[in-house]
Structures are given as C-alpha cells and as structure tokens.
C-alpha cells in the first residue's frame, strides 16, 4: 500500500475513533434527558438510566464469554473477568432481590459467583497468569481501566451528597446529585463495554488469522 494511502487511512481512522468516542459520551446525556423530560422520573431504580447500566453489564459479560469460547487459553482468566462483572450486575440488582427475596440477599449470590470464579481460575494458575498478562498488555486495557476508574472512584466522589450540598446550599435537591452520579456511572459503563467489545473483536480477528494460517500450513500454502 502506498505511503500516502497509509497516512490517509490512519488519519481517517483517528477521526472515526474520535467520532465514536463523541457518541459514547453523548449517549449518557441523551438517556438522562429522556428520564428527566420524557419519563419524568428522578433517576430512580426504575429509570432508563438504571436499565441501561444493567444492559451494558450484560453485554460486557457476553463479550468475555465470547472470547472464552474462541480462545481456550483465556478461559481460566476469563472466569475472573466474567465473575467480576457478574458480581457488579448482581449488586446493581440489589433492589430486585430486596423486593422479591429479602433485604441484603444480593450478598449471597455475589459470594457464590466470586468464590466459583476464583476457584476455577486457581485450577490452572499458569494458564490464568498467561491470560492475565495478555489481557493487561492489550491496547484496549487502558480504556477499560479508565472506565473502571470512572465507575469505582470518580462517580463515587463526584456523586457525594456533601459535595452537592456545598454546591447547591439551600437549593439542594437529591435529583441533582443522582444525575451527576448516575450520569457518570452510565458513561463509565459505556466505556467499559466499548473496550470489552473492541477486545473481543480483536481476539476474533486474531483467531480467524490463526485459523487461516493453520489451514494454509496444512495445504502447503506459500
């Protein structure tokens, strides 16, 4: 491929990524606006925002299940990744368990899932560590890390009631705090899903290339 075409492809790819990221950070705002202006709720447990977060967690888990399917060497470590996001999903469903089972019941399935994932990964430590190393070395791991930092650290700090009480003083309303916290969480979930999807697609591409190369060797391709 000529150098000029390669440069053009790289520039167009960069603009494409910027456009995609712009959509990712705009979607949470659009969903929040729907909740507030159309559905007329205060970002409660039954809001579109909350449902979107749960759906993105399910989609993220499916990404790693797919990777585990196409790459057997990743299965031990994938148990940890899938278990981690499954625990997050169960925690997000705490209201459901409180209403239909008993208060605080979510802790029991989380404990079961976490213990099962850890035990399965420990059955072959070498394979788990190899999967771990490959995972953190991948180019999309940094985006995943950013999403997790936004979710587990920034959203908690940015959504503190004391912060918004200081900002709004006597005009404090809980909805403002909920919008800040849940909006940040939703953006984090979009970021995590995006990184996971790109990781899964890259693993699929490599799997296809490996399969084609293997078939080529069998047929004595040049």
pLDDT in tens, 147-185: 999 999 999 999 888 888 888 888 888 888 888 899 999
Whole-number average pLDDT of the chain = 87
Residue 63 C-beta-side C-alpha neighbours within 13 Å: 21
* In the predicted structure, residue 4 carries a pLDDT above the cut 80: no
| pLDDT bucket at 190, cuts 50 / 70 / 90 | very high
What percent of the chain shows pLDDT beyond 90? 55
The pLDDT value given to residue 127: 93
User: What are the tokens at 77?
Assistant: 């470590």
Cβ 128 vs Cβ 80: under 8 Å: yes
Res 211: pLDDT: 56
Q: Residue 46 burial by CB count (10 A; 0-12/13-18/19+): exposed, middle or buried? A: exposed
What is the C-alpha separation between 10 and 181, in angstroms, rounded? 36
Query: How crowded is residue 183: how many other Cβ atoms within 10 Å of its Cβ?
Result: 20
Q: Residue 13's pLDDT band (boundaries 50, 70, 90)?
A: confident
The pLDDT of residue 28 is 93
pLDDT at 208: 75
Nearest-Å Rg of the Cα atoms of the chain is: 21
pLDDT of residue 125: 92
Q: Note the pLDDT tens digit of each residue in 109-134.
A: 999 999 999 999 999 999 999 999 99
Contacts of 65 (CB under 8 A, 6+ apart): 78, 82
């Amino acid at each position: 491929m000529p150098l000029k075409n390669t440069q053009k492809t790289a520039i167009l790819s960069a603009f494409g990524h910027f456009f995609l990221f712009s959509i990712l950070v705009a979607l949470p705002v659009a969903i929040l606006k729907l909740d507030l202006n159309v559905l007329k709720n205060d970002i409660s447990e039954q809001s579109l925002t909350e449902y979107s977060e749960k759906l993105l967690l399910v989609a993220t888990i499916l990404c790693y299940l797919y990777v585990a399917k196409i790459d057997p060497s990743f299965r031990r470590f994938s148990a940890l990744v899938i278990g981690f996001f499954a625990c997050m999903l169960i925690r997000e469903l705490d209201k459901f368990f409180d209403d239909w089972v008993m208060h605080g019941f979510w802790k029991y399935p989380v404990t079961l899932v976490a213990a099962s994932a850890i035990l399965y990964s420990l059955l072959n430590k070498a394979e788990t560590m190899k999967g771990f190393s490959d995972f953190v070395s991948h180019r999309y791991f940094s985006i995943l890390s950013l999403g997790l930092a936004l979710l587990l650290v920034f959203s908690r700090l940015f959504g503190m009631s004391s912060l918004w009480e200081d900002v709004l003083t006597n005009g404090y309303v809980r909805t403002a705090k909920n919008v800040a916290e849940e909006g940040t969480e939703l953006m984090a979930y979009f970021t995590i899903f995006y990184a996971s999807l790109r990781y899964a697609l890259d693993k699929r591409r490599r799997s296809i290339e490996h399969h084609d190369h293997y078939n080529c060797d069998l047929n004595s391709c040049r």
